[in-house]
Structure 1
């Protein structure tokens, strides 16, 4: 083999193992799931390897599945909205801190990511229960007369998911803030601009790409979350991920569960790609 050919082949040899692992662990299982979604199933005959659209027809014709997907979308949108409302100011404060305090706050922000998602969610279940710390504290302060319903409700699921996913929003916005020259704010102050005007006219347009990037991550993770909806929502509050789980392991209707998973994946890919195009367009407008 000539040196030129060997040099051209080197990148392929170096990326080959990673591509093989990605193919074996991601692409092939996804392809098998998509294929399984078009198989037939019966209670007595099991899975039949014949092409059919019965599973997708059942999903689109049954209002129960529509309700589950709409609930999944609603929870993901609410989690993303609260992550923006809480995470953006927190990222701005983090960016203005001294390095010593910033390190401590970063540890507190990243702390939820260092703990198992099941342990975190069980902790929220103890806090949000009818006899949990939240309800007992509110009743002790005289703010409520009877416990609020957090468990097995969308409110409880949203609270747990916001706690789990808000670090992704904070880090995305903080990365955008680090590109912002602090002297721009000082220049605006010297010209008589108020703090609100500086935030609205100077800072916010610069960090919009970070907000959009963080929103994509939070929305995708919230829509596909399983542990938090399963523990906090329980069996009465189904989302797409728990619905697919039940079809696979409870009713043993693997093709229908695969169809639910494929539709969830397709919806997330379409929304993520569309939002990513918006982020790229916004980056080009900001930094051109």
Structure 2
């Protein structure tokens, strides 16, 4: 896959312009965003990501576009689950509603910074040691099992010693919120970065998929406040996706060390197109099942 310097420059220009616009918009209008406004902005950011996928298809090729879409969908879905914890954090720290936008922008900036570091490290390690996919895949299978049985939810968040220390020092709820988001961003990256490397080894695709997924989180946060109780099967769907990617990583590692069959059984190679179709299908089934469940429950 040939990613030119021009493609990098265009992508970074788009992402930089969107982040700056979002930052000044949040600073100029420090208030709680209404669900309708949040929904319209969320649609805009989704359309922006889809437009970038079309750009990649034209400039780089269909494989790059499909890898970006699969990675973006996975990261976006994981981000939705993570936003539920942000809601709990802001509530627990009693952050004023009008300061939530600024805290979210700071959290997004920290997430981009930390993930850029993790992506660089991950790309280097994978380039040198393809067998590390065995470790990544096993970790994702464990995470999927933990998530599927109900672990890793909102109820797992607690202040911890770091926040407790700064709280005793008299740090404001806004400052505490930024520290809490920074810590959780690092923890979330441990799950999300191995997951997307299971879909593509191209660092450009990994970073842009992460960036486009993160940039729309401020608006999505306020939308989820109204929808949190309706996405009842999201964690189950994410568990299935992570398990699938974990298995894909293990199979790639096996082929990387020339272990292509077990006895007479040939080990398959899972392609990008199949991965994209699988992820879209799981998310669609998860969404429909959640809607049906909440309607039957009278929510």
State if a TM-score over 0.5 links the two structures.
Answer: no
Q: Which has the higher contact order (CA 8 A, sep 6+)?
A: 2
Question: Bigger radius of gyration, 1 or 2?
Answer: 1
What's the TM-score once normalised by structure 2's chain length?
0.32
